[in-house]
Amino acid sequence: MMARTSDIGRAAGILRAGGLVAVPTETVYGLGANAEDPAAVARVFQVKGRPPTHPLIVHLAAAEQLGDWVADVPDTALALAGHFWPGPLTLVLRRGRRVPLEATGGLETVAVRVPAHPVALELLSAFGGGVAAPSANRFGSVSPTTADHVRAELGDAVDFVLDGGPCDVGVESTIVDATGGTPSILRPGGVTPEDLEAVLGRPVAAGSPNHIRVPGQHPSHYAPRARVVLVDPLEIATEAQAAQERGHRVGVFLPPACADVPVKAHAVVTVPESMADYARGLYGFLRELDQLGCDLIVASLPVEQGLGVAIANRLRRAAGPR
């Protein structure tokens, strides 16, 4: 199951030769290519079916390499990298010349992170360069958190799948604009706003006050095949039953507080009480309900604190207009 040393060598060779490798990280699996190879990067966009203007994240083996890939490293970026790397934090900084515009979707900024997964770090060290990797799913759909998800979703389109077991965090990295001035959260993720604020010593805004362009923020994203509707937790049972009576095959995300409420539905997932467990399981639950043939998923938003911020963000987008 888990990648061996020979697999790492093989994967590094494929990257050097311009191929694509699915890489386990602590957040989700990435679809990796040599960040300095425009043709390999172009293949990533093609395999994902992603518009070429949506920038990729460049993954590095260690924070010490940051200066090789960005034009400058503001003090705040240095502090955040020092504290959170390796880990689920992505920093958007001014693009260094080593990064081709193909990887940044034409932007003069680049997103970089050092992932906290032993297999990813071994691969990055063996390869030596930067690995440009979006999540290893088709554009707009649910991110993969196991090697099997990647195989099911991308099949032969990827040259090699490095199996690193199930992802520990389960939602993507937090993306922070650290280009200058006040840092802001462009995408909530595995590092919580509270954690960022503790390190920065001040509140962190969401959005892009520096007016940098942020592609890849479509309202519909992270979506299963089934339509997702979000309702108040107290209305889940009635909503599910009504939809079931209208002829839907309903899947339910039952909040832990409602675990004892009887629900008539095609399939029910009882949401874990711990936000870390919920984040870890989220994409797997969505895939599972798809696989069971549900065409509608009824869910509610968790409290938006800690990892609940990222979970709520993904659920809203999963429920967004298609």
Which residues are at the interface with Mg ion (CB under 5 A)?
135
Q: What is the C-alpha to C-alpha distance for residues 74 and 163, in angstroms, rounded to an integer? A: 35
Least spacing, CB of residue 5 vs ligand TXA, in Å: 22
Residues forming beta bridges with residue 70, ordered by sequence position = 95
DSSP letters spanning 12-79: HHHHHTT--EEE--SSS-EEEEETT-HHHHHHHHHHHT--TTSPPEEE-S-GGGHHHHBS---HHHHH
Least spacing, CB of residue 10 vs Mg ion, in Å: 25
One of 81, 110, 119, 154 touching ligand TXA (CB under 6 A): 110
Site for ligand TXA in 71-90 (CB under 6 A): 88, 90
Contact partner, 76, from Mg ion, ligand TXA, none, Cβ < 5-8 Å per class:
none
Residues 198-217: x where in contact with ligand TXA by CB under 6 A, - otherwise, as a string: ----------------xxxx
One of 16, 54, 151, 227 touching ligand TXA (CB under 6 A): 54
Side chain identity at residue 28, one-letter code: V
User: Whose CB is nearest to ligand TXA?
Assistant: 216
Residue 66 is a binding residue for ligand TXA (CB under 6 A): no
Contact partner, 186, from Mg ion, ligand TXA, none, Cβ < 5-8 Å per class:
ligand TXA
Task: Please report how the helices 275-291 and 308-318 are oriented relative to each other, as an axis angle in degrees rounded to 10.
Answer: 20
Residue 56 is a binding residue for ligand TXA (CB under 6 A): yes
Least spacing, CB of residue 102 vs ligand TXA, in Å: 12
**Alpha helices (H) in the chain, listed in sequence order:** 5-16, 38-48, 66-69, 75-84, 118-127, 147-154, 193-200, 236-245, 275-291, 308-318
Name the strands in the sheet holding 227-230, side by side, starting at the edge strand that comes first in the sequence.
Answer: 227-230, 296-299, 250-254, 267-270
Residue 92 is a binding residue for ligand TXA (CB under 6 A): yes
Q: What is the C-alpha to C-alpha distance for residues 38 and 57, in angstroms, rounded to an integer? A: 14
Residue 130 is a binding residue for ligand TXA (CB under 6 A): no
Q: Which one, of 174, 175, 126, lies nearest residue 23 by Cα?
A: 126
Residues 282-301: x where in contact with ligand TXA by CB under 6 A, - otherwise, as a string: --------------------
Interface residue list for ligand TXA (CB under 6 A): 25, 27-28, 30, 54-57, 88, 90, 92, 104, 107, 109-111, 115, 133-135, 172-173, 175, 186, 214-217
